[in-house]
Amino acid sequence: MHVMTQSHQFETPLTPEFREVVLHLLEGAGRTCWKSEGKAKEGSAPSFVQGILTKNHMSVIEHAGVTVRFVTDRGITHELVRHRLASFSQESTRYVASATRSKLRVETDAEVVSAYEAGQSMKRIAGASGKTEWEVYKIITRSGIPKRGHNNFGAVQADYFNTIDTTEKAYLLGLIQADGSLRAKGSPTLNITQHGDYAWYIERMLKDFVCSSVSKSKDRMCVQLHVTSQGIWDALVSKGVIPNKSSDAGEAEAELLWGSVPETLRWDFLRGLLDGDGCVRFFKQTNPGETSSALLNWLGSEQLLRRVHEFLYAESPTFETKVRRHGTSACYGLNIKHPATVLHFCRKMYKNFKFPYGHPKKACRILEQIGQDYPIADWGDPEFRVIRPTKFDAPVDPGWWSWFESMARDEDAYAEALWMGWAPQDARGVLPNALKTEIVMTANLREWRHIFSLRCAPAAHPQIRALMTPVLHAMAGWMPEVFQDLADQFCGDAK
């Protein structure tokens, strides 16, 4: 999925030369009404056009038109096409697919093996080949390919954690250390447990970087994500993440874990550790001065947190805190309460943040405080394009994650339909209103005035207003005689 911002482009060039052509046309048409063509002279057209609009003689400006190409979402174009006195040509969802994937075709035994190695399930291969699942199983057995466990499919990057050399790897390693576990019995499996409201972004990261399909199960209010891979399991153990780590991990494992993360990526590791077993708060004390307070807290093993403490102290030796036992449990905590220090550390942790790869609640708290912009990750099919709602140009809020999750589900459903052999015209039923579309719109100048009066007004939908106001601004600059009054009303600074 690729997230875009809406935009416009004038297909009719708003040049001085075209302006003169339009003014001459409008003056000639208008003077026909009074048979005053003889009064036309060089430079008379602008004042004439302005004068007829003052008299509300709007039919004259219907003789000239402007064409604009909009890139926006389908929800907005549903509103645009209601302007019946305009002409439209829009990108089709019937003939233009919104994904690059096509129907899975498996005919020969070699293609069965290739599809299985690429991560397809036996069930899907059977459906695409016309064979039974038992026949597919026998073909794969004869090929000597190791079988995957039940519900374990998708292409796995088994060497992903061999070297921690990216922001995402360091973050996931910290998250796994906090909220993950390794199961040694049966198939070697990595499990990550997170509250059901916040698990989606972890599933997204695992799909993007580790395994194209992640199995999951419910655990009361939480969700457990599962990736079965001997390579992943071995790499994590070599980094100090071991089975039963809460009770069995000691000094050696802490040294392995901390040493496996390059110093340049340790802030990303700490953000993962925070999102798993930590908390962050910013609040005002209820005193006369409303003193600002903050809390940044990591939980974990004593050995690991001592290394974290040394790292933080080297970065900012002004704070005073110690690694302390957390309550009566065997877990330890590292608390930082000085507001300036907390903000400094948060900026460090979020320097490489890319949405949505972070805990929604904690990320919202921190980003709101540090006022830092951030890029949006692409994932899945780059041809599945959606328009970023203008609502999310405001400070970040948890709704961002919910919206992205919904878009990702729609992408998966659409891609699945194409895999099953559906034509784009049938699969489009699951596409969201936020789907990117292009529409070419032509209207005469009178209709453009009507459109601007509705779509640039404060009561208009925020997204269509954001789309139309720059168009009005540009057209007022090109033809102030026709549009400047509307620009003064809705744009303010349009001259």
CATH number for the domain that contains residue 253: 3.10.28.10
What does the block give as tokens for 372? 């830092």
The secondary structure of residue 152, as a DSSP letter, is -
Boundaries of domain holding 136: 109-143
Whether residues 32 and 75 fall in one domain: yes
Whether residues 90 and 113 fall in one domain: no
Rounded to whole angstroms, how far apart are CA atoms 1 and 204? 12
Whether residues 337 and 197 fall in one domain: yes
Residue that finishes a domain, picked among 350, 370, 390: 370
- Counting the structural domains of the chain, the total is 3
Rounded to whole angstroms, how far apart are CA atoms 168 and 155? 18
Going from the C-alpha of 342 to that of each of 283, 335, 353, 370, 373, the distances in angstroms are: 12, 10, 17, 10, 18
Whether residues 292 and 177 fall in one domain: yes
Q: For residue 377, is it within any domain?
A: no
Coil, strand or helix: which one is 167? helix
Edge-to-edge strand list for the sheet holding 7-10: 7-10, 65-73, 436-444, 86-90
Q: For residue 135, is it within any domain?
A: yes
Rounded to whole angstroms, how far apart are CA atoms 230 and 161? 12
Whether residues 274 and 174 fall in one domain: yes
Residue for token pair 């001459």: 24
Q: For residue 158, is it within any domain?
A: no
Q: For residue 382, is it within any domain?
A: no
The secondary structure of residue 211, as a DSSP letter, is B
Whether residues 60 and 187 fall in one domain: no
CATH number for the domain that contains residue 91: 3.30.1360.170
Whether residues 58 and 126 fall in one domain: no
HSE of 118, CA atoms in CB hemisphere, 13 A: 11
Whether residues 171 and 66 fall in one domain: no
Going from the C-alpha of 226 to that of each of 150, 269, 400, 472, 484, the distances in angstroms are: 11, 21, 25, 52, 60
- Count other Cβ atoms within 10 Å, centred on residue 268: 28
Rounded to whole angstroms, how far apart are CA atoms 216 and 348? 32
Rounded to whole angstroms, how far apart are CA atoms 123 and 136? 9
The secondary structure of residue 172, as a DSSP letter, is H
Single-letter residue type at 263: E
DSSP letter for each residue of 42-78: TT-HHHHHHHHHHTT-GGGGGG-EEEEEEEEEHHHHH
Q: For residue 50, is it within any domain?
A: yes
Whether residues 275 and 336 fall in one domain: yes
Rounded to whole angstroms, how far apart are CA atoms 20 and 211? 61
Per-position pLDDT tens, the chain of length 495: 999 999 999 999 999 999 999 999 999 999 999 898 888 899 999 999 999 999 999 999 999 999 999 999 999 999 999 999 999 999 999 999 998 866 677 888 888 888 887 777 788 788 778 888 888 888 888 988 777 665 566 678 899 999 999 999 999 999 999 999 998 766 889 999 999 999 999 999 999 999 888 888 988 899 999 998 889 999 999 999 999 888 888 899 999 999 999 999 999 999 999 999 999 999 877 777 677 889 999 999 999 999 999 999 998 877 777 888 877 667 899 999 889 999 999 999 999 999 999 999 999 999 999 988 889 998 888 899 999 988 877 667 888 899 999 999 999 899 888 887 889 999 999 999 999 999 999 999 999 999 999 999 999 999 999 999 999 999 999 999 999 999 999 997 544
Q: For residue 60, is it within any domain?
A: yes
Residue for token pair 């060497």: 159
Q: For residue 184, is it within any domain?
A: yes
Bond preceding residue 356 cis, omega within 30 of 0? yes
99-104, long-range: CB < 8 A, 24+ apart:
99/381, 99/383, 99/384, 99/411, 99/414, 99/415, 99/418, 100/381, 100/382, 100/383, 101/381, 101/415, 101/418, 101/419, 102/418, 102/419, 103/128, 103/418, 103/419, 103/420, 103/421, 104/128, 104/419
Residue for token pair 């993007």: 208
Rounded to whole angstroms, how far apart are CA atoms 165 and 354? 16
Question: Are 29 and 21 contacting, i.e. CB atoms less than 8 angstroms apart?
Answer: no
Rounded to whole angstroms, how far apart are CA atoms 473 and 490? 9
Go through the chain and tell me how many residues it has. Answer: 495
Whether residues 341 and 279 fall in one domain: yes
Question: Are 14 and 475 contacting, i.e. CB atoms less than 8 angstroms apart?
Answer: yes
Question: Are 301 and 254 contacting, i.e. CB atoms less than 8 angstroms apart?
Answer: yes
Whether residues 83 and 137 fall in one domain: no
Whether residues 139 and 213 fall in one domain: no
Q: What is the pTM of this model?
A: 0.85
Burial of 296 (0-12, 13-18, 19+ CB in 10 A): buried
Q: For residue 192, is it within any domain?
A: yes
Rounded to whole angstroms, how far apart are CA atoms 103 and 230? 31
